[in-house]
Structure 1
Amino acid sequence: MQTPKDYTRKLLLDTAREAFLRKGFKAVSMREISKLSGVGLSNIYNYYPCKDDLLAVVLHPLLEAMNGMLDNHNRNESLSLEIFTSEEYHRKSMQEVMGIITRYRKEFKLLFLDTQDSRFNDFWERWIEKSTAIGMEYLERMKELYPDLHTQISPFFIHFTCSWWINMMKEVVLHEELSQEEIECFIGEYIHFSTGGWKKLMNVECNREKKMVGSKTSSYSSRIKTNSI
């Protein structure tokens, strides 16, 4: 059974979420949350010491989803040249982004537009820095697997592409007139366009051709040895 404290904590969270998403973080006071929830103002501080703490809990599911997406894009399974050509990989990437935007559109809008007076004021800058560091690590790991890849990409370019990714999602979130089909089309176009650029920049095709030639040569040599025996 849910304890009174758990009930009150959830009540405050649900009340704050509805108020923040409807009016914006800055426009909602703790006194208003107290009035809407029926929980005494002094009692609220026993659960959430400040309004920022309530905002953090409201945004937590979105931030978890964002971290999960970043982890997915840099997991071991993504250390393959197939990510540049696989339509299945592109389709899954598009569906992942679509799912997060669709589920957390209001939270995204809040985080993009109305967190200036909170601890999340510089969230996107910190996110881009984190993504840049992970991206540089990813290139190093790809270089170990594919030595002929060009991975000497400037850190600032990686920073730019991470920023571009965030702005892509921001445009989708803020253009509420877009239909699901239009969003799906746009994200798919972005993923193909971005992948094509990285493919060219890293000389992926050249590396693939060398691997194919090497594979054929190895196979041919094996056949010769077999026939000789």
Structure 2
Amino acid sequence: MQTTKDYIRKLLLETAQKAFFEKGFKSVSMREISKLSGIGLSNIYNYYPCKDDLLVDVLRPLLAAMYRMLEDHNRPENFSLDIFISDEYHRASLQELMGIITRYRSELNLLFFSTQHSRLKDYLEEWIEKSATIGMEYMEKMRRLHPELHTDISPFFMHFTCSWWINMMKEVVQHKELSCEEIECFISEYIRFSTGGWKKLMNVKNER
């Protein structure tokens, strides 16, 4: 019985994922998911009381990856001034971003452009605010560890930079013609550009 339930849930999730990716969230009905999966509509509601629940499950791996990235931001090694000049830090950041984009490109497209009529409609703004809060906490710890730096960054500027990150990801996802090599080149340029900007803003000395 449990195997059957797991199979039905997996089938519904895969069916919804394919339909959402192809047509967008709003354009797909639960009745259509029932028809495509072969699972009776009344039975679907035993697993997913509403279409939003299916959407959240489809996007769950992506959302988890995005929150892991936030949690990793304030790792102890990121408080060293070496991150401003470290090729290793650059490669790790590039690998992390490329991993999310290449693995979840369809999910990102769905999240960015097709969740306006779902419970996830405010997710991106909430993610930006969470990211900005973590960024301000980072600056406070950097102030204590490196008092010679300029860390008096305005909350709105931090909000802007976090919003800029989301818009950068949107541009990558929206331009489907970009190859993985082109995306990697762009992300590498973005990381170097933003790192250089923070280095200048925080008055990190060049001799490091």
Tell me if both proteins adopt one fold, taking TM over 0.5 as the criterion: yes
TM-score normalised per structure 1: 0.88
- Using the alignment, how far apart are the partners of 2:176 and 2:31 within structure 1? 31
The two structures, once aligned, show a CA RMSD in angstroms of 1.4
Q: Which deviations, in whole Å up to 9, do the C-alpha atoms of 1:121-150 show, x marking residues without a partner?
A: 111111111101010001111111111111
Structure 2 counterpart of 1:151: 151
Structure 2 counterpart of 1:182: 182
Structure 2 counterpart of 1:115: 115
Residue 205 of structure 1 aligns to a residue whose secondary structure is: coil
Residue 204 of structure 1 aligns to a residue whose secondary structure is: coil
| Distance apart, 1:2 and its partner CA | 5.8
- Using the alignment, how far apart are the partners of 2:73 and 2:170 within structure 1? 19
Structure 2 counterpart of 1:3: 3
Structure 2 counterpart of 1:75: 75
| Shift >6 Å, 4+ stretches | none
% identical aligned pairs: 73
Q: Does 1:84 align with 2:94?
A: no
Higher normalized contact order (CA 8 Å, seq sep 6+, divided by chain length): 2
| Distance apart, 1:203 and its partner CA | 1.0
Code of the aligned partner of 2:13: L
Code of the aligned partner of 1:98: M
Structure 1 counterpart of 2:28: 28
Code of the aligned partner of 2:50: C
- Using the alignment, how far apart are the partners of 1:188 and 1:73 within structure 2? 18
Residue 42 of structure 2 aligns to a residue whose secondary structure is: helix
- Using the alignment, how far apart are the partners of 2:77 and 2:15 within structure 1? 41
- Using the alignment, how far apart are the partners of 2:156 and 2:196 within structure 1? 19
For residues 120-199 of structure 1, the aligned pairs below 5 Å read 120-199=120-199
Count of residues paired in the alignment: 208
- Using the alignment, how far apart are the partners of 1:181 and 1:73 within structure 2? 25
- Using the alignment, how far apart are the partners of 1:184 and 1:9 within structure 2? 35
- Using the alignment, how far apart are the partners of 1:175 and 1:74 within structure 2? 31
Structure 2 counterpart of 1:218: none
TM-score normalised per structure 2: 0.96
| Distance apart, 1:73 and its partner CA | 2.3
Code of the aligned partner of 2:192: H
Structure 2 counterpart of 1:93: 93
For structure 1, list consecutive stretches of 5 or more residues without a partner in the other structure. Answer: 210-229
Structure 1 counterpart of 2:52: 52
Residue 118 of structure 1 aligns to a residue whose secondary structure is: coil
For structure 2, list consecutive stretches of 5 or more residues without a partner in the other structure. Answer: none
Residue 203 of structure 1 aligns to a residue whose secondary structure is: coil
Code of the aligned partner of 2:87: E
Residue 189 of structure 2 aligns to a residue whose secondary structure is: helix
- Using the alignment, how far apart are the partners of 2:74 and 2:32 within structure 1? 42
- Using the alignment, how far apart are the partners of 1:196 and 1:189 within structure 2? 11
